[in-house]
Amino acid sequence: MVKNAQAQPDGTGELTIRPYRPEDRDDIADICLRTGAAGADATGMYSDDTLVADAAALPYVEFAPDLAFVVDDGKRVLGYLVGVADTDEFLAWWEREWKPGFAARHPEPGPPTGRTPPIPEELLIWVGLNPEATRIPEAADYPAQLHINLLPELQGLGFGRKLVDTFRAALAKRGVPALYLGVDAANKGAVAFYVRLGFHELPSSSPEHPIFGISTAP
């Protein structure tokens, strides 16, 4: 599917938003790592470079590949949005299907790397092993959720907004009323982006754990 086609700034290719395909999985894991430290590169920050994607990207494409969208330059994926329509169902699936493999791959924090990631390794592993702990009180009214990450060369070109619009439209088509997301408090750029797009803070949001929501209606 070709839509939202746009020439790259250097004129070398065409950037296209399209649905996720299974062969995009490695690119998504790579982008997740390279934007995984509050929007900056998390490579080498954790004892295992696969941890961030295992907690923040791959379970989403595994559970809801039909709600994942990517930006493709004809050679590789440079950015993605992953999400689910029903967080309750997703967390139950995580507990049942994703947690055993996660626990085998990341049974406990590894040796210190000497770097300090915004989200400590202990916490990331704990979340992977306790998915229910991420449930928000507003989940009944905001059942869907998303994660979005673009490599630096793709940022600031309007693709973040287009990906969110694409996801909201896909949810609206399914009758899902609203979605939420959590942001790393250190990620000021992402917070500014969500506010610009019309997201509002939910009652359970706090300065340490900002949580934003938005309706799926345009």
- Should residue 209 be labelled a site residue for ligand COA when binding is judged by CB under 6 A? no
How many beta carbons lie within 10 A of that of residue 198, not counting itself?
A: 10
Query: Nearer Cβ to ligand COA, position 155 or 204?
Result: 155
Q: Which is nearer to ligand COA, 101 or 185 (CB)?
A: 185
187 belongs to the binding site for ligand COA (CB under 6 A) = yes
Nearest residue to ligand COA, using CB?
160
If one asks whether residue 198 binds ligand COA (CB under 6 A), the answer comes out as no
Q: Could you tell me which of 89, 23, 36 has the C-alpha nearest to residue 60?
A: 89
| Site for ligand COA, residues 23 to 52, rule: CB under 6 A | 35, 39
Which residues have a Cβ under 8 Å from the Cβ of 80 and sit 6 or more positions away?
A: 20, 24, 27, 28, 31, 57, 68, 69, 70, 71, 148, 149, 150, 163
For ligand COA, give the closer residue by CB, 137 or 156: 156
Q: Output phi, psi for 21, to 5 deg.
A: -125, 150
Question: Which C-beta is closer to ligand COA: that of 31 or that of 91?
Answer: 31
Shortest spacing between CB 108 and ligand COA, in angstroms = 26
| Residue 67 and residue 167 in contact, taking contact as beta carbons nearer than 8 Å | yes
Rounded distance between C-alpha atoms, residue 177 and residue 157, angstroms: 28
Residues 141-170 that bind ligand COA (CB under 6 A): 148-150, 155-161
Q: Quick one: how many helices (H) and strands (E) in the chain?
A: 8, 8
Closer residue to ligand COA in complex, CB, 35/216 = 35
Phi first, then psi, for residue 134 (nearest 5°) are -90, -5
- Least distance (Å) from ligand COA to the CB of residue 70? 12
The reply to whether 193 sits near ligand COA by the rule CB under 6 A is yes
